[in-house]
């Protein structure tokens, strides 16, 4: 598929995942004629112009979502796109403007031995420390995409921190086979501000891989909830690698600093999780499977099922990330977070009312969950 068309196809899915209406998105995409940095009608210029207009009309959260798509899939490597870089900065600023109207959402900046990271948080430093929830997206998802859910996580009783995968957004820590260590580092830094010994991880796509690896070593992690995470075969199956979309390969190449797709695949091979490592993960794992996933091979599910002691799968007939099932997917993840904490269905239904997702339990029961 030609680069611009592939970019548009993925953007449609990510726009849907952010709750943007399909009609206006289609109209914007029709105006995009190239992906040449700075050119008229280019990808980032068109998205940025729409975001600027929304911000001027006092709609910062919508503007933030459009800036996130302007930077999509990443601002660039050694020769970044100035418009995408502007979008990256503007998405953070627009979210910051919105969050100041929401009680309790705070910004947290942390240093790491290999870089810096920024987080949006809620519920830290409570008089009675709360269990911790860490939320992290994948290789193209900035933290602002998920941080709007922080008030809902607080209503569930969590102290919540939303941050980014190494190399993504404001996270300058390198993305490599040691990246899983960022999660224990984050828990170390939050010690005393929340109950880090009772941590749940909501780690989407590639960050789910980090979560599984971290849980092998860190007993403070009590549950993992993920959507389409690579585990082993993604990193080792040469035939599948040939099918992986170019946008995904190019984003991974930029994040890892590799010269080409062959070098990238050679480096990724050592990232595969072994059956022995997976068997060492003793905590509950909830994993959303997209049956038409174009990025994650179906063999990953079988590997998890054979080696994880406490795993539940939820299937959606959808592509990577199940963007057409966003509402139901989020409800399933929400239910899994509560279930892992021993909250019964009656209490889950009551919390569903509080969160404005009435009927959560009955809706979740409509389609089967596979163990």
Residue 135 has pLDDT above 60, yes or no: yes
Collect all residues with Cβ–Cβ distance below 8 Å to 38 and sequence separation of at least 6: 45, 81, 82, 83
Confidence of residue 367 (pLDDT cuts 50, 70, 90): very low
Domain with CATH 3.40.50.1820 in the chain: 106-370
For the ranges 134-138, 260-264, 353-357, the lowest mean pLDDT is seen at: 353-357
Q: How far is CA 292 from CA 228, 261, 278, 289, in A?
A: 11, 23, 24, 9
pLDDT higher for 134 or 365? 134
Residue 194 has pLDDT above 90, yes or no: yes
Q: Which two tokens stand for residue 363?
A: 């809706």
Alpha helix (H) residue ranges in 18-161? 22-30, 43-56, 60-70, 82-99, 144-147, 150-155
Q: How far apart are the first and last CA of the chain?
A: 36
At 3 the pLDDT is: 82
At 63 the pLDDT is: 97
At 78 the pLDDT is: 61
At 59 the pLDDT is: 97
Measured distance CA(32)–CA(73) in Å, rounded: 15
For 97, counting Cβ atoms within 10 Å of its Cβ (0-12 exposed, 13-18 middle, 19+ buried), the class is: middle
At 370 the pLDDT is: 54
Measured distance CA(247)–CA(35) in Å, rounded: 13
106-370: which CATH topology? Rossmann fold (3.40.50)
Other C-beta atoms closer than 10 Å to the C-beta of 292 total: 11
206-218 average pLDDT score: 98
Give the tens place of pLDDT for each residue, 90-103: 999 999 999 999 99
b/e code 250-273 from CB counts within 10 Å (16+ = b): bbbbbbbebeebeebbebbeebbb
The answer to whether residues 332 and 314 touch, using CB atoms and an 8 Å cutoff, is: yes
Confidence of residue 359 (pLDDT cuts 50, 70, 90): very low
How would you classify the pairing of strands 106-112 and 115-122? Answer: antiparallel
């Amino acid at each position: 598929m030609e680069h611009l068309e592939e970019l548009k196809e993925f953007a449609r899915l990510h726009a849907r995942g952010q709750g943007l209406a399909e009609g206006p998105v289609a109209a914007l995409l029709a105006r995009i004629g190239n992906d040449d940095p700075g050119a008229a009608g280019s990808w980032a210029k068109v998205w940025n112009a729409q975001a600027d207009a929304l911000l001027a009309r006092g709609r910062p959260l919508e503007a933030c979502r459009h800036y996130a798509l302007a930077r999509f899939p990443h601002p660039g490597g050694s020769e970044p796109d100035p418009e995408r870089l502007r979008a990256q900065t503007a998405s953070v600023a627009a979210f910051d403007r919105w969050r100041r109207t929401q009680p309790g959402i705070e910004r947290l900046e942390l240093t790491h031995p290999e870089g810096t990271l920024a987080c949006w948080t809620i519920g830290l430093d409570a008089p009675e420390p709360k269990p911790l929830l860490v939320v992290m997206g994948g290789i193209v998802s900035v933290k602002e995409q998920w941080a709007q859910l922080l008030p809902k996580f607080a209503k569930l009783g969590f102290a919540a921190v939303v941050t980014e995968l190494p190399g993504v957004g404001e996270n300058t820590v390198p993305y490599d086979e040691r990246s899983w260590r960022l999660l224990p580092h984050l828990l170390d830094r939050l010690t005393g501000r929340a109950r880090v010994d009772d941590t749940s991880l909501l780690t989407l796509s590639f960050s789910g891989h980090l979560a599984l690896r971290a849980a092998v070593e860190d007993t403070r992690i009590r549950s993992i909830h993920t959507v389409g995470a690579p585990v082993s075969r993604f990193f080792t199956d040469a035939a599948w690698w040939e099918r992986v979309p170019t946008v995904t390969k190019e984003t991974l190449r930029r994040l890892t600093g590799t010269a080409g797709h062959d070098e990238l695949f050679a480096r990724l091979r050592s990232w595969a999780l072994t059956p022995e490592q997976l068997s060492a993960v003793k905590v509950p794992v909830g994993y959303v499977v997209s049956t038409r996933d174009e990025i994650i091979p179906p063999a990953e599910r079988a590997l998890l099922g054979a080696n994880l002691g406490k795993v539940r799968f939820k299937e959606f007939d959808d592509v990577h990330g199940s963007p057409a099932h966003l509402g139901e997917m989020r409800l399933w993840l929400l239910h899994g977070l509560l279930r892992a904490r021993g909250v019964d269905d009656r209490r889950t239904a009551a919390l569903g009312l509080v969160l404005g997702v009435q009927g959560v339990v009955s809706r979740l029961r409509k389609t089967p969950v596979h163990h």
